[in-house]
Amino acid sequence: MACNCCGKRLNSGMIHKKDSQTGKKYKSCPHCSDANGGLHVFHPYPSSFGNTPARVTARNPDGDQSYCIDCRGLDKGVPSQVYLNGRTCNSFI
């Protein structure tokens, strides 16, 4: 499924945005975006994600986690409950 704002896939967790007023960075969580159902949901980056050497690749040199910390702690099949705490894609326009 594609985001109603940017048209990119909701299951893509490597989309980064920057707040033009504060300069803070944000990253989308695919699980939160899926729970939202129409727009990417972003959380502060890197504090809400973390990283690991196991995820280091050429496209992900810092080893960023895909899902936010809260979603990584959920059992499989449990929808995100924290997506309402994030910022949607259209809030960066």
Residue 70: in which H helix or E strand, if any?
A: helix 69-72
Which parts of the chain have pLDDT scores under 70?
none
Is the bond preceding 30 in cis, omega lying within 30 degrees of 0?
no
- What is the per-residue pLDDT for 14? 74
| Whether the model pTM is above 0.95 | no
Alpha-carbon separation of residue 21 from 18, 24, 92 (angstroms): 9, 8, 10
